[in-house]
Structure 1
């Protein structure tokens, strides 16, 4: 009976060696996708908040739309988010557009290199846009 246990343990080790890389790849993929989705939602929320701030306060001199937009999404800190807007041309009845963008690196570094000659997935170019009517 002892010889059967040794053979089974060897089979389990081989099965684990075959399946573990695949399971880890799936786990890393889920984590990267979740992070990318979180960043996309945060970019859109930051752009929307910046547009709302500019649309409501367009008469105030020296609007700092970028600071207000980034303050609305603290999860974007440290990612190097760029914010652009047309708040200086905001007038009643016109629209203000705020765009947030980032080049998102891989969290794990594992997906930076393409597999089997495929192009790399990361860094992802992501963008969020918010549009609101000025004074509306």
Structure 2
């Protein structure tokens, strides 16, 4: 290979990088966003489960704080504006309590907003028998 052909290919690497880099970034940010959404989904389900367990065990208490019990069980959800709904006020032995946690999850990177995937509406649901 002579010196002249080496200098003619000098810009080829930069062009190849410019073509491939957006695809690599899309894959990288997609992995990051999927991992975060999966983590939030698992945390929502855990929070709903803990809230339902708390309501099923403490349904006779006068100050039943199902939302507090649910949100304290999932610290990964802090600052996301999670909504907790439940029917613990109608809990009686033999009946069931249902706790639902939900959140609208915005994109963390902002890179995938243009393709319509975000914001995501995620929820977790748990049902337990009151009184064990």
Smaller-chain TM-score range? over 0.9
Alignment coverage as a number of residue pairs: 131
Query: SS of 1:103's equivalent?
Result: strand
Residue in structure 1 matching 2:124, options 107, 123, 128: 128
Corresponding residue for residue 16 of structure 1: 17
Structure 2 unaligned residues grouped into runs of 5+: none
TM-score by length of 1: 0.93
Corresponding residue for residue 85 of structure 2: 84
Q: Is structure 2 residue 62 aligned with structure 1 residue 66?
A: no
RMSD: 1.0
Query: SS of 1:128's equivalent?
Result: strand
TM-score by length of 2: 0.95
Query: SS of 2:33's equivalent?
Result: helix
Corresponding residue for residue 33 of structure 1: 34
How much has 1:108 moved relative to structure 2?
0.6
Query: SS of 1:113's equivalent?
Result: helix
Describe the superposition over 1:76-97 as per-residue Cα deviations: whole angstroms up to 9, x where unpaired. 0000000000000000111100
The CA distance in 2 between the partners of 1:3 and 1:70, in whole Å, is 67
The CA distance in 1 between the partners of 2:4 and 2:22, in whole Å, is 29
Structure 1 unaligned residues grouped into runs of 5+: 115-119
